[in-house]
Structure 1
Amino acid sequence: MVSQNRSHTDPLAEPEAVVSELLNFLEEQTRSPWEPETDLYRDGGLSSLFAMQLVVHLEKSYDIAIRGADLRLDNFRTVRLMSALVCRLQQAQADGRDG
């Protein structure tokens, strides 16, 4: 599990570690198993309200800010897409950019 309060000196998250952590989070929250490529909203029937829970979880778990264009539902459709978003935002933050 990823630390809730990552410092800026922590290494960037690895994509597969993010996938694993997110799959665990989703299973805990929904009591259902998930696959990394499952469309969570089409196939799983999750709501856009749950997408906001995911935003909060990702921001707290990975010390990132998800704003503006990154808040599109398409970034949260699959666990792999969320992992890519986390890694991209962490890299931008490490490089001194905003997303």
Structure 2
Amino acid sequence: MLKWLAVVLLALLGLLQYRLWLGEGGVRELTHIRARADTLDDENATLRERNQRLAAEVIDLKNGLDAIEERARSDIGMIRKDEQFFWVPDVKVPDGEPAPSRPGTDTEARP
């Protein structure tokens, strides 16, 4: 009888060890979850930095006309009435510099 009790307890211990290391909610699953959490933390850090840049740009756009003017110039190619625009075709732009946009407005001055 004592022999059978020892066998049953060893079997129960083995089953519990299996569940601890390999079963649902065990150590293996915990390591996978921690690795996934670390990956998501890295992605969130990148997105947080992007959100901070966008928030700063929103504040700049709300508070000053310089940022609005810069966006109008770079995005849609606007110019002021007192400026002259010269478009030179086939100009090579060095890497890293934005290509000049060609305004489609009627206010552009022609050479």
Q: Which has the larger radius of gyration?
A: 2
After TM superposition, the score normalised by the length of structure 2 is 0.19
After TM superposition, the score normalised by the length of structure 1 is 0.21
Q: Considering fraction of residues, name the structure with more helix.
A: 2
